[in-house]
Amino acid sequence: MKYAWIHENRGVYPTPMMCDLLGVSRSGLFAAAKRQGSERRVREAEVVEAIRRAQQRHKGRYGRRRMTPEVSEAMGHSINQKRIGRLMREHGLGSRKRRPFRVRTTDSRHGQPIAPNLLERYFGATMPDQKWLADVTCVPTDEGWLYVAFVLDLFARKLIGWAMSEAMPQDLTIEALKVALGWRDPPRGMIHHSELLAITS
């Protein structure tokens, strides 16, 4: 108890004076501090091991906020959140962030012939059925991803064809084009531009 009081008040009173007033030898004080430091290291090693086991159970996804109650329960007493965070940083036990799921709708790495880019990023049109733009996107639903191919008339930015599927078959854009051709009768020379398909009628 005396050693702890001296340690807490080192910044207020000189250590030799406190040792003399409380009848404590300085060598005894230093030995007690050494024992205390050793005990603290043992306790922290136990906490680190508890953190490591929890991260293994949760596949490395827990940060300090969720880790604190988990480790406190495992150790049988409350542990400060800042202490948990410090130990996680020091021992490389931080949470691993999951990469966001990205759906790829275009794959340019293939050996198939590539049609010339007739649009050349000029999206202006002076009349209907002059330039059609097609693309594929994906929409998250409660039952999974839904792939949607669509055809847009660039003159009015009007949707003129579409097709949907739970998978992404290669002919999804062709199905959307068929729908557009069912609605429209484009003149010869109309450009249909797609990441997957490029046609001049």
104, 47: one domain: no
12, 46: one domain: yes
86, 104: one domain: no
In degrees, rounded to 5, the angle at the alpha carbon of residue 74 between the alpha carbons of residues 72 and 78 is 20
Binned at pLDDT 50, 70 and 90, residue 199 comes out as very low
124, 46: one domain: no
- Of 47, 52, 139, the closest CA to residue 94 belongs to 52
Torsion of CA 32, 33, 38, 40, to 10 degrees: 110
pLDDT tens for residues 57-109? 888 888 888 899 988 888 888 888 888 888 888 888 887 765 555 555 455 55
Phi, psi of 190 (to 5 degrees): -65, 140
Domain that holds residue 8: 2-90
Query: Other CB atoms closer than 10 Å to residue 162's CB: what's the count?
Result: 16
The total number of structural domains that make up the chain = 2
142, 66: one domain: no
Q: What is the mean pLDDT of residues 47-62?
A: 87
**Last residue of some domain: 90, 114, 148?**
90
The whole model's pTM is what?
0.41
3-state secondary structure at position 137: strand
**Last residue of some domain: 90, 110, 129?**
90
107, 192: one domain: yes
Give residue 137's Cα distance to chain centre.
21
59, 156: one domain: no
